[in-house]
Structure 1
Amino acid sequence: MVLMEEAAFNFRTSYVKSTVFYDAYNGILPLVLNWQARPWTCDVAQKNMSSYACVSNHSVCVNVTSTTDEPGYRCKCSDGYEGNPYITDGCQDIDECLKNSTLCGYGICENMAGNYTCSCPRGKDWTNGICQSRFPVIPVVGTTGGLVVLVIALACACMIQERRKLQKMKRDYFRQHGGLILFDEMRSKQGITFKIFMEEELKQATNRFSEQQVLGQGGYGTVYKGILEGGVEVAVKRCKTANEQQKKEFGKEMLILSEVNHKNIVKLLGCCLEVEVPMLVYEFVPNGTLFQLIHGNHGLRISLATRLGIAHESADALSYLHSSASTPILHGDIKSSNILLDRDNKAKVADFGASILAPTDKSQFITLVHGTCGYLDPEYMQTNLLTDKNDVYSFGVVLLELLTAKLPFNFDPDVPAHEKSLSMMFTYAMKENKLDQILDAEIKDGDNIEIIEEIAELAMRCLEMCGHNRPSMKKVAEKLDSLRKVMQHPSVQRNPEEMECLLGEPSSMASSTVTSAEYFSIEKKAVNGLQSGR
């Protein structure tokens, strides 16, 4: 006979003669004893503590009724306790936190006598059996997302507004510099290669005007080397200032300057008008400046023929600007650093875009051209009137640089006053007949002394204090051209007409061969003709 809980076992006939029962239940089944203390109820039993069965702390009495309806009671441990309530200290506290690690979810579980508590980390509250943020996640995310969208929208609006302001500013500058007039003129004329550049295009070409791209700096601005799309090398000049009158006339003047076409003048390719002060774009000349050739510490010997060739080409370019261009142009800043050299040391006059067009009446003579110390015409400094004879004076200083290889101005305070300015030093040497003391040692050659003296005399005429007494650039170019030909061909053939031109009278030497010394004797007699053609 076996005692067991009825609900825990289902009988089968196969259990009688086999071990199936043991295989299914391991020979073990729960047994439930349904018993009670009789014949008292809890109220009656608790009156007699000597016989009261629930002796353990944290135990409770429970009334039960048997099948015979006889009263009785049983003992059990209180909630949160377990054990035997019928013995002393038989009911022990249950550690709910230890039994169930997920009892408080992601909160903090703390065991208590007969119970437990759940708490949450800082910033969260225990709600509906879980720890939740004090502020709901969805509203916080929504608010944050809304703020981000608002900030982005405001930033975009500001960028759009700034971009519109920038575009408006560029349009205003473009109109202010005569861009609309320039466009109309360009459309009306055929074959013009002049281009109006965008600011961004020139920024990209010059690596955003990087210091590594700087070719040179002067009183008018900074010149950068740039490479346009297609690999075209250019020189980009950022001018410093422009007055209101210059701004209004800029577009018109640019079109006139764009038509300048001479082999010894740097070609003006275009300009940028959408900036406060316009930028100019020239062809790039690769071999540096005449100033660098003369004064640079390169150790190269510069022959007199090379110097004379550069002088003649530069003078020819200035003569073209003064008298052969569609509208006469005054350079205003002739100096050795504004004469560029190509790979064959051929001269190209640059920076004429900083000049002004020749004025049509005296009221237009006042100008803001400043020039460069050492090259500036003293007469201009007194009158502030720019004329073609100012360029002649400055070119005379360039001739002195070619002859002496000295700087146009010496800033050393210990140098005597008459030696500070190259023009003053030269004038003093000529008056004292000491030209050979200031000549560059590289050109002191007995075979060429006559040519050097002729160049020196030409420079003296260019440096006359009164501009009216100076020759025109056309006459200067013609003189240098004749000296160049004599140097190339020491023995020249003269026809009667040419001799008459030099002497102003028929010559008996018409068909004879003339040596260089004889030629210079004839040239000296023709000086009056040169001066009368100022």
Structure 2
Amino acid sequence: MIKTTQTILFFAIVVANSILFAGTANTCNQTCGAKHLQYPFGFSSGCPIRLNCTGNDTVSIGEFPVQSLTSDHVMVHLPAVCDRPIETLNDLFSRNFAPTSQNGILLRDCETPVTSCPIPSTAVQTRFELKTCDSNRNKSDNVSCYSETRVEREFMDLRGLKGSGCGSLFSAIAVEMTGNGSAVTLDVQAVKLGWWLEGGCACSEKANCTVVTSPVNGRRGFRCWCLDGFVGDGFRDGFGCRREFVSATWGGTTRVGILVGGVAAGASLTISVGLICCFIRRRSKLKNQKRNRQRLCEATGISIPIYPYKEIERATNFFSDKQRLGTGAYGTVYAGKLNSDEWVAIKRINHGATDSSEQVVNEIRLISSVSHPNLVCLLGCSIEKGEQILVYEFMPNGTLSQHLQRERSEGLNWPVRLTIATETAQAIAYLHSSINPPIYHRDIKSSNILLDYNFKSKVADFGLSTVGMTESSHISTAPQGTPGYLDPQYLQNFHLSDKCDVYSFGVVLVEIITGLKAVDYGRPQNEVNLAALATDRIGKGRLEEIIDPLLEAALNDEWALSSMHKVAELAFRCLTYDRDTRPSMMEVAAELEQIRLSRWAISSEENTTTSSDASRCGSSFTDPWLSEQSSPSSNSLLHHVHVVQ
């Protein structure tokens, strides 16, 4: 009897859904090959928002392929093309969609540079490998970035774009913003379109309405989206919103409860039992959370947010490989969204990691006790179900190592590398000299230097860090760290001090100059260890032999060449065997800052009208800090980068 009831209910829903779709199915074709779009999108004249379906089952708007479609925007692929007429912008503006203000539109052939783009010029430059569009022009001085500067605007203004004095539409960068207005991700060669239907809110029951003012004709429009617990498109003329299926198992039989008129008594009982189970489960969950919080507080002396494990699973899509940012010796880091729109980095400690519990407690205790703009911020943790998970602020540009090894970009120019080195040194110096007792990181390496959307550096991974002893110069301990970065004197006598971090940072400086790995068995036997290779070449005055080929173009600049040699000499001193002859991190940070600022002294002498503010938003690609950026010899146009893979 129960089985028969389930079957009848299932077919009733199928029939009801067929009737609901019948109104639009006859007039709007929503299928393109294997792809089926949701109302109000489709491919025929009867569809409220009509898109194109090409022969290879590609959905497009004009000539631009559609990458994704959500309840509030359409992401469109906008490949970089040198001489695309600016009139092509018309395809991105219609009575039902337009680019949002969270875009930077890249334009060429401008009468004067456009300087209204809020996207940092560093972020743009490091993502684009510009080919020479015109052999008679410099390949970096003819691209400008345009965006809306008025924060109250939801969409871009077509008249403003066309009135910019530029002749060509080159490409675009779509930006995803956090709630506080800072950029989280940059989607290269893409433009985000907001969409709407014209008229007043014609949303179904159990749906919310977003009112939109069209930037094209100023008319009122709207979008619909279903409330939590309901599914559908939310539109009165579409599928509307229907409650999600609720299932529970009782007595070995699965029963489906659907909130429609005339629900069977058995299904009602199932729902009642399900509610009771939910209540008991929630009560037990709260007790566990309280117990975990108390246990963590006792171990660390610090109270931080504790996230339920289920939230962590949802945020990472059950630890999907697509959201994996990287894997280290002690855990794997995933990108995820907590609290709907907050991007975070979630580190899942390996179950088999030695002393992982101790390292988690150690990291929570140490990282929560310090505060510096170049140290990564710990947001919370999860310690349920035998899992040990740490939640950090999200750093969308990955690690310094990934950029030096060309894994996330075509490389970094010299001024950007020098700034990263300076900021990292300042963070380590803070740990050594501004904390009492001092903190020794013990695992300084390029893969533990994270980069935000503007390539600002933040030191991460405090799992091996320890508190120094103010009354002595060392601590006896077993050597721990990463091969290639470990202080050889520490390896020999087990004496840990602040100079161990100085040695490791010296290796990072050499990585920044050469672009080589700290240890690489693919190199000749006597060059496997980068520290040994670098000290040999620097000591013999042959630095040019190991400079990153990407930086060779910068060697024609007097300041760049001089500053590279100064940084190499500083790295040489950091890598000396006798720790007592190494500089302190305070001295290292001060010297790097002096080298970095010497650029502006030279610029001021050459051109007194040049601004010294490297972080200014204006973004024609003529920023003196970016002019050394060299491209690989190939003329490939661009490396398409998603911040979250």
**2:306 maps to which of 184, 188, 196:** 196
2:413 is aligned, of 299, 303, 307, to 303
Of 484-493 and 229-238, deviating more is 484-493
Residues 1:179 and 2:294 aligned together: no
Q: Which amino acid aligns with 1:447?
A: E
Could you tell me which amino acid in structure 1 is paired with residue 586 of structure 2?
Answer: K
Equivalent residue, structure 1, for 2:532:
424
Counterpart selection for 1:479 from 572, 579, 591: 591
The amino acid of 1:423's aligned partner reads A
* 2:572 aligned residue: 460
Paired residue secondary structure (1:352): coil
How far apart are 1:172 and its partner, in Å? 11
* Letter aligned with residue 392 of structure 2: Y
Aligned counterpart, 1:83: none
Q: Structure 1 residues 491 and 205, CA, compared in 2 at 3 Å: closer, same or farther?
A: closer
Asked if 1:437 corresponds to 2:545, the answer is yes
Shift in CA distance, 170/444, structure 1 to aligned 2, threshold 3 Å: farther
Task: In structure 1, give the amino acid aligned to 2:593.
Answer: D
Structure 1 position 265, deviation (Å): 1.5
Give the alignment's TM-score, normalised by structure 2.
Answer: 0.45
Going by fraction, where is helix more abundant, 1 or 2?
1
What amino acid is the match of 1:476? V
Whose relative contact order is higher, 1 or 2, with alpha carbons under 8 Å and at least 6 apart?
2
> Matches of 1:242 and 1:326 in 2, distance apart?
34
CA distance in 1, matches of 2:452, 2:377: 13
Q: For the structure 1 residues 383 and 200, does the alpha-carbon distance in structure 2 shift closer, same or farther, using more than 3 Å as the test?
A: farther
What's the secondary structure of 1:371's corresponding residue? coil
Secondary structure, aligned partner of 2:348: strand
Equivalenced residue count is: 330
Q: Which amino acid aligns with 2:313?
A: K
Q: Distance in 1 between matches of 2:407 and 2:352?
A: 35
Map 1:57-136 to 2 at 5 A. Answer: none
Classify 1:236/1:356 alpha carbon distance in 2 versus 1 (closer, same or farther; 3 Å). Answer: farther
Q: Do the aligned residues in 2 keep the contact of 1:333 with 1:372 (CA within 8 Å)?
A: yes
Asked whether the equivalents of residues 290 and 337 of structure 1 are also in contact (C-alpha less than 8 Å), the reply is yes
Q: Which residue of 2 aligns with 1:383?
A: 493
Deviation, 1:248, is 6.4
Instruction: Give the Å deviation of 1:275.
Output: 5.2
Name the CA distance, whole Å, in 2 between partners of 1:375 and 1:404: 15
1:396 aligns with 2:514: no
Contact 1:177/1:248 (CA < 8 Å) preserved in 2?
A: no
What stretches of structure 1 move > 4 A for 4+ residues in a row? 148-152, 166-173, 241-253, 359-364, 366-369
Q: Distance in 2 between matches of 1:208 and 1:368?
A: 37
**Cross-structure match for 1:93:** none
Residue identity matched to 1:237: K
Hey, what's the Cα distance between the residues in 2 that align with 1:353 and 1:375?
16
CA distance in 1, matches of 2:461, 2:327: 11
Q: 1:329 deviation in Å?
A: 2.2
2:393 corresponds in structure 1 to 283
Residue in structure 2 matching 1:206, options 298, 316, 332: 316
TM-score, normalization: structure 1? 0.54
Alignment partner of 1:320 out of 430, 434, 444: 430
Gaps of 5+ in 2: 1-248, 254-272, 606-645
Larger radius of gyration: 1
Tell me which of 338, 347, 353 is aligned to 2:448: 338
Cα deviation 1:24-73 (Å, max 9, x = unaligned)? xxxxxxxxxxxxxxxxxxxxxxxxxxxxxxxxxxxxxxxxxxxxxxxxxx
Deviation at residue 253 of structure 1 after TM alignment: 5.8
Shift of 1:199: 2.1
Q: Which one-letter code corresponds to 2:513 in the other structure?
A: L
Change (3 A) 1:243 1:418: closer
Q: Which residue of 1 aligns with 2:602?
A: 490
Deviations along 1:144-182, one digit per CA (max 9) or x if unpaired, are xxxx98778xxx9xx99xx99x97996899489643455
Inter-CA distance 267–175: structure 2 relative to 1 (3 Å threshold): closer
Give RMSD over aligned pairs: 3.9
1:444 counterpart SS class: helix
Instruction: Extract unaligned runs of 5+ from structure 1.
Output: 1-147, 187-193, 494-534
State the distance in 1 between where 2:446 and 2:320 align.
25
Cα distance in 1 for residues equivalent to 2:295 and 2:471: 23
| Distance in 2, Cα, partners of 1:482 & 1:387 | 26
Q: Which has the higher strand share?
A: 2
Contact preservation (8 Å) 1:213, 1:224: yes
Give me the identity figure in percent.
40
> What letter is aligned with 1:234?
V
The more displaced of 295-304 and 438-447 is 295-304
Structure 2 counterpart SS, 1:269: strand
Whether the 8 Å contact between 1:257 and 1:353 is mirrored in structure 2 is no
Given the superposition, is the C-alpha separation of residues 219 and 299 from structure 1 closer, same or farther in structure 2, using an over 3 Å criterion? Answer: closer
Could you tell me how far apart the structure 1 residues matched to 2:250 and 2:382 are? 39
